[in-house]
């Protein structure tokens, strides 16, 4: 696994509105994964979470998180970011989720009723496959 800073080809993939899955840890230590939107904010990752979701409770208890991003044009090319949430902030006015939604859909976030929290992820390590492979492990394809 590599440590930041991220190389340009990885930054280019992460800058796109690609499919992604985040993983958190339940209180019993079991991993839980869920599809999610993300947005790069410099060297950090913005994740927007509905305040009623379990994954927000998981992160408040244990801030460790992974985010796997699949290149929308080539799902064999993927980047996994490993890190921790270093900041939680109320998304008053839904400015953060609107920014993330515009990145993915071109529109503001449709659900305007439920409160949301922004979790800011700091990347501690990363690894890649396909076009951004960062190790010398033999390829199976």
Whether residue 21 lies inside any domain: the answer is: yes
pLDDT band at 134; cut points 50, 70, 90 = confident
What integer pLDDT is reported at residue 139 of this predicted model? 55
Give the domain range for residue 16. 8-132
Whether residue 62 lies inside any domain: the answer is: yes
Whether residue 141 lies inside any domain: the answer is: no
Q: Rounded to two decimals, what is the model's pTM?
A: 0.93
Angstrom distance (rounded) from CA 48 to CA 101: 10
In total, how many domains does the chain have? 1
Residue 93, domain CATH: 2.30.110.10
- pLDDT tens column, 73-117: 898 999 999 999 999 999 999 999 999 999 999 999 999 999 999
* Cβ-based neighbour number of residue 91 at 10 Å: 20
Which residues lie below 8 Å from residue 95, measured CB to CB, with a gap of 6+?
Answer: none
Contact 22, 34 (CB under 8 A): yes
Mean pLDDT of the chain: 94
Q: 3-class DSSP state for residue 64?
A: strand
Point out which residues pair with 73 in neighbouring strands. none
Is it the case that residue 1 has pLDDT exceeding 90? no
Whether residue 1 lies inside any domain: the answer is: no
């Amino acid at each position: 696994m590599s440590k930041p800073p991220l190389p340009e080809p990885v930054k280019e993939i992460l800058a796109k509105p690609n499919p992604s899955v985040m993983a958190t840890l339940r209180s019993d230590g079991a991993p839980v994964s869920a599809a999610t939107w993300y947005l790069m904010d410099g060297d950090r990752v913005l994740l927007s979470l509905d305040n009623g979701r379990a994954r927000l409770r998981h992160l408040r208890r244990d801030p460790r998180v992974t985010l796997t991003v699949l290149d929308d044009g080539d799902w064999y090319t993927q980047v996994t970011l490993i890190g921790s949430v270093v900041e939680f902030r109320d998304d008053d006015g839904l400015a953060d989720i609107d920014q993330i939604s515009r990145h993915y859909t071109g529109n503001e976030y449709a659900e305007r009723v439920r409160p949301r929290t922004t979790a800011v992820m700091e990347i501690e390590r990363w690894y890649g496959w396909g076009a951004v492979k960062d190790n010398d492990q033999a390829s199976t394809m």
